[in-house]
Structure 1
């Protein structure tokens, strides 16, 4: 600490100095008339605050008999008035900013400042109810509140106490929110410099420049835990929707009057301890004892204090309970009759008497000279039993609340009235079209029924039409359907893969299948059946063209048996012209493709299998031992999806061509490839069949121009020809087995 600068003076010397001063005072004292300041008699009726028998300055009592400040408050927590200014500890202005005196209450009750930021100043703040300066004040404490503070029958500027106040200077703007040019200087309210920084509206609005705005200068609540209305919208901290995502307002009951359980602890609003003492309405009510109550009372018991005593949103004369109170007569009595009731040339909401008064149906009130709904244009709260948007409909009865959780029947088969509208399950319109039972039953009208009817209406659409848990031919309703008349399997004639095409005729082929479960068409002609395998995730389009007779195309799932099953039909194309089916197969699954003749037809056709997409290698040709050919990786049926293989470290970024190798004998297979002296740099890789998926991570062997590996009859393998570092071109290949 810095050393004290006080100097020790002997007590005897101090006594001598005081005695000499006293003698000097007596020697120079003036004689005063009895009854005048300085006669030693305190005459309060003459305006004296003290009288020490002289008219000297600096001795505690001024030459006009007014108290003089003596020093400062030495301690802010000792319970003493150290400087004799009648203010103790934190009530003394000297203690403003002291750590022992946080501004949580109205610290000084006659400084014209809202010390605790609750928009109530000095004696208007309930914190000052017991302060001496607010107990029967002898002077007009506020000069612009329309209240006779000292009960001398003179209000505001009409009281001589206010003669020195800026608002009452001759020619000054006396009221800053009455839309009147009080001093006839052509400038009204905030446009008049007299109103600078003065109140001009509710919730702390004041004149800033020529506009009536919030002193903070922001339109949103930026601080969500300071107990203040930062944007002057009448909503503080978590009560303001601006704070919905603020850390102070999450993980707890952030709104205490919205009818919702904000923190998911099953307790709502005032029933949640998080809301203890918190505001639960916009009119001043707060949570107490689990209820939303008005701490100030239930009636407007003071009609001149500028306070809404019963928290009904109406203050003083605006509250009907004050209609007979002195000072509340001679006002606009009706605010929606288009009549100037009090003869001040202003009608209805244009008259300030009507501020916050009812002016229309369903709760509309006057605000800023217009008749509007206090709650806004939409129903903002859906469980407060109030018509927030004044449209005559409250809560769930208002369409604005149609999607609110408290207004929707959340379950349509639990026999409960989930949204409290007296309607349960399908009887509630909220459940229209929603699931209400097993196997696809939905609400239709007020009953739970099956959209497809009571019987299986289609026996080849793969749907459970009658919601009985059985679909198509497995449903007894389809016993007589042509689609279900054929059972058993059909023979596989050939295998086909992505990118391949086949041209042939059905003339002379067998006719083992006459009906398929996915179509009602009569397919009594001879058929040709292909087996198809998708080795990666591709989109497949089957095209049947070059038709001279009425041939149709059917796609079947593979039943896992030798052959195909006509009752496992997935899709069909049965027009009178060219046929087409597009589908997305499951990689590794087998499918059957049937070309069959409608009503006994047979003839020539071309079948093409076009595949797009794919994330790995796409097998396009099935081969056996002894196969050889000359081909190229530059053709369109080659893919370019694989760069690396698990069995080698080569960069194989060129296009790849993939063979499905189906050996009919066991032993050792040798695959040789040659590209010529100046040919491309192509490599060989063998992949495990891996349940049908061509997967480069399942590599079992690799080589530059030849590979050998053990094989087992009836097993499958992928042999891939790929380009080293992006290379591509022609090659010769052969598959040898021994």
Structure 2
């Protein structure tokens, strides 16, 4: 990343800080004589000046391309993938016109930074990108990490500044001055757009843009430098194209650099239509022969010119940028409006002729004329007629009349086919006799057309549903039979032997007087009646159900597989260790309790008795435990009856004892242990011995040496490394005194402090002060002082005397300011001035062509006059007749050839004639009725009408059928079926579907004939598609039925009849 890129990202918002003097208690400026920036360009799309122009005529524009490596100082954009736009906030907080930095690494390790820039920013309280607060300013910034407090002198290309550092440290000088480019000029805070007034010549230290020194290498084309490469520069009005810092803690003469990071993109200003500094004129182009030359200077008087107006006769320039009009003409012209024809010059102005005929004879367009493009046919959405009787509510869409919904051609008669033809409209054709239809009576199962009327036959026959219903009647609306109930109380059988009385109730056979079942015993539940036999079941109660077996010694009785079973018998246990277990009494459920035999072993619960036996049912203990003392610090204890162990009480603390260690001088009992205290303490003999250890057998300490090499001090500060050797401190590595610098000699070491003396060298001794610009350096009172400085002189007429470089002793060779007067000895350059140290001739004599068939000549450097040669024969020109297509110069005159040949545009137009004014051919229509071909399959008998070929619609009715109409498709050049409206009556050929209608172009039957059983000894049959009648098969012989006679007990079907 370049220095410039890093530095711009460290700049602060103009609105929050415009002048910073951190740690600077004083400031003094010394500026050389200079001027502010010369001018600025028109406001660009971002509401900033398009460019600024310096006093040397150099113009720099903003550089917005974040991918341009030569615009390295541009900061981050909120959304780099979106276009730059101030209105949305997607813009740079600070955008540079010029951005120059220099950086010095100080001998003390700190940095010195110089920033010189001209920036566009936003003057509001937060520094945000807000439209309407655009502001431009110049900036001078110093940041120095000074080694000491004090006054520092900073020399830079626009002057000298003295600043005070209150203390040493990072950025102890931190100075920024921003000067708004406005009137009145302000070096401080300001808000607003100030691009509507001239620049104040008394403010802004930056009046010249710094650029690469071309004597070293030229900058990239179109730029004043490359910010990624440090380079020497030109452009200082003070002749100080370097950055120098002088002050306390720095070498005599200070430190400096002549290498700068330079960013700036050149702006092309001549030809932009904006009069800038250095221009006599700017007509918005860089052409000659219009009295303002390609270099934006007035062309000489008497130069042939053309003012661009075909209605004037021109002659020559007046020398002040005006092409003189010699008279007016009446030639054909173009007034710039496409809504006039046959335009003619009059009194120097092009006057428009009659308006063109813009009627396109299309009711779906609104015809008008736009002066920019001519006739305009704007689509409308009005009502129209597409010529098709089979569409309604036709509307215009996209310039074409589009048919609306089809008309409703349904006459309500299912024995007619309803169609629509584009000519007559709705048509109703009688179906043939016998065609399927619907008569509106669902109880007729076979409906057919007869002489255009729908006649129903094969009526639905209704049968009884079951033994509690009678046969009903058919509903004409639905075709379904009613199903009336038999009289309540009518005899029936519900098929359940557990109901003892059955009868019809509300159409359902209902059984009453049910069989009631009861439980057999305590381990059975009441059963349920079997509908088939009328007998009750006898189920066991669930296993585990409570009951009683009559035995008190069984504690848990329950039913198991229908039997009451006793479980969980009473278990007799011993009362204690001196009794045996008894037996249970079935009558009472209690147990007996006999004694064990005397002498049987037992435990009396006292661990201090060692022999226990049963006596008359009681456990008795004997042979007690005897306790003794544990050691010299415990007494004899007592037995614990719970555990049988003896207690172990401690002797009183402080009781005398012996721990067996001679290194403890006092031993006593403490908490039951013999503890030695008052140990023998061993100490070191001196700094080269370590403390020893005590011998437990004798109580005497050892005295070992420290390890050889251990640190110590021998009392002499001039020995730098003291160590122990065999128990003795020995000094080594004596201090060696050296001279402090070239103007001092080596001293001697002081044993008390270890520091060296530092005597001065003799005055007059040779030395070097590090500045190659002082030619005689000697020691004086211990400091090296330079004398006899190098004196620099100017190289030639376009250079000024430079300054000596302390690093090399060579003189710089700065250019004179661009624009300084000189003479380049060439009569064809009218203005000579120094540019980048070279005498450069500008404002060259521009040789202009006499007319379009002469070439511009060349200037003679000896006298400054131009030649005037003919253009080569065949050179392109214009003879003023647009109907000649190839105009060329011949012997200095423009000759037209290759005339325009007009042809018919299409089959409904004839060839026209060419208009010399614009080269366009007229385009008259063919006579209406002329035979043509519009290329469309769906039209026939095509003829021309008002220049448009069209025909009548093709008849496609043959492509239709009962469920489709025929329509024409242009894409396939064919007549194809299109579905009729869903619900159109048709015949699907199946007599078992009673209602047939069209659905998605196909005839689909619905409302099928539903076959029902004739009676209880028949089953429902199936419908015959040919006749629509139902079959009527018998029930299987032996099937149950009811013959209506309660005196017959077994009724069955036999050959379709119920027999009791």
TM over 0.5: no
Compare the two structures and name the one with the higher helix fraction. 1
Taking structure 1 as the reference length, the TM-score comes to 0.22
**Structure with max Cα Rg:** 2
